Amino acid sequence: MKQCFFAVDLGATSGRTILGSFGEGNLELEVLNRFPNHLIEAGGHFYWDIYELYRNVLEGLKSAARRNDCVITSIGVDTWGVDFVCVGSDGAFLRLPRAYRDPHTTGAPERFFTRMPRSTVYGLTGIQVMDFNTLFQLDTMRHNADSALAAADKLLFLPDALSYLLTGEMVTEYTIASTAQLVNATTRRLEPSLLHELGLSEKHFGRFVYPGETVGTLTPAVQRLTGLGPVPVIAVAGHDTASAVAAVPDTGKDFAYLSSGTWSLMGIEAAAPVLTPAAEALNLTNEGGVEGTIRLLKNICGMWLLERCRPGWGNASYADLIAETKAAEPFRSLINPDDPTFANPADMEQAIRDYCASHLAQPQLETRGQVVRCIFESLALRYRQVLDSLRAFSPRPLSALHIIGGGSNNHLLNQWTANACGITVVAGPAEATAIGNIMIQAIAAGQATNITAMRSVLSHSLNLPVFEPQDTPAWEAAYRRFTHLE
């Protein structure tokens, strides 16, 4: 029987479990289950239902156990960044984890910077300042005398928390920890001075591990529930973007990437962190990658804008929305996708309309096709703005932009991104995060020597669409308008 690898890939709006194997130099994938990931609002706060996520992971493992054509070699878990679980001294979770979109951290960075200057924090971590970074979540919880934090014996980032439920072993995986603004970008370990400011120490975290290390094996209880044996759980690149970037099907060094989903994360791979004043001024982030790389990138609001509009449209199909978008007037109105207005409004469509009305006296958006066109064109122009800033930090010219993740299926936005950025766009793979997860497991199992070898397999086994720039003058004019929004 063939060796199969089980990937748990959880995003901020949905999750999936996927079975992967490498046969005759080709990657084979099979989705075992997909499930929604809902924010829970209670008492004025937003939480994740980690137990429901865990239940769905178990359902996927049960499906894998029933297979008679492969043996499950290992399991890996990746999720979105920054969020964490407080664990009591008895090993129990003390409360559902707060979601990064909880408003309790609004203004938190400024409060923290009165004790430790912004430049000092950036010089240590190289991480983009965002209200919801773990550093500011923890500082806010401490400021508010949060009972779960006060009683916490350990803090586990979400992929590590799920691995703990599966194995009973507590670890802190490097790539997910690097999103927290608690890891020293140079030493690639937890930074003692930041922990001290929070009243914490390394003992509050699990054993520090890097992608490819073993967390543990399934507990007897999980074996009984799933029908599997003592399968090892591997610490993959626990941050979903780190796993996705590992799966970029390019063996060169002259590419940029755009991980497109709820968030759009655009960046380049670097050999060392970039901690310069120029990087700090642009609020670029240096997150941990695989095999010693640094993901120098920028977080951009992505499909969150559209996904928050769709419920008001009866969750209209993407096919219908794309058709209406194509028919709408080009460049009617534009927004800055990263404006704080769009972080978590009660009515996203109205927030977009209000923004257009208050910036450059733009025409009102009258149809949903116009709204979606505004979102897509604005995202493409924001990608141009960020890509231009990244070019200054790349040691070589960037010849291609790889769009990976679910957003790579949006061929209209892919083409508009090529138009706006003036660069060749290669779209896919859509399941890049799960593929990167599986690649790390395969390397740990001895099926490949390194990421470059795995990327070579991908580049030869995938037939991906390519988009070349078009309509350059019109997009240049639109970009000039876009840069005057603020």
User: Alpha-carbon distance 457 to 455, whole Å?
Assistant: 5
Q: Which residues touch 254 (CB under 8 Å, ≥6 apart)?
A: 394, 396, 397, 398, 399, 400
Whether the bond between 345 and the residue before it is cis, its omega within 30 degrees of 0, is no
254 is catalytic: no
Strand ranges (E), 130-278: 154-157, 171-173, 207-209, 214-217, 232-234, 255-260, 263-270
- Measured over all CA atoms, what is the biggest interatomic distance in the chain, rounded to whole angstroms? 64
User: Alpha-carbon distance 74 to 437, whole Å?
Assistant: 11
Positive or negative: CA dihedral 264, 268, 272, 274:
negative
Using CA atoms, how far residue 31 sits from 8, 15, 20, 222, 434, in Å, is: 10, 11, 9, 21, 10
3-class DSSP state of 102: coil
Between helices 50-65 and 158-167, what is the axis angle to 10°? Answer: 50
Q: Which residues touch 388 (CB under 8 Å, ≥6 apart)?
A: none
Positive or negative: CA dihedral 280, 260, 57, 343:
positive
DSSP lists the bridge partners of residue 467 as: 425
Strand ranges (E), 50-197: 70-78, 84-87, 154-157, 171-173
DSSP lists the bridge partners of residue 332 as: none
Q: Which residue has the tokens 């599986």?
A: 438
User: Is 234 exposed, middle or buried, given 0-12, 13-18 or 19+ CB atoms closer than 10 A?
Assistant: buried
Choose the catalytic residue: 146, 160, 240, 338: 240
Q: Which residues touch 82 (CB under 8 Å, ≥6 apart)?
A: 100, 132, 133, 134, 137, 157, 179, 180
Torsion angle of C-alpha atoms 422, 428, 430, 436, degrees rounded to 10:
-120
- Catalytic site positions: 240
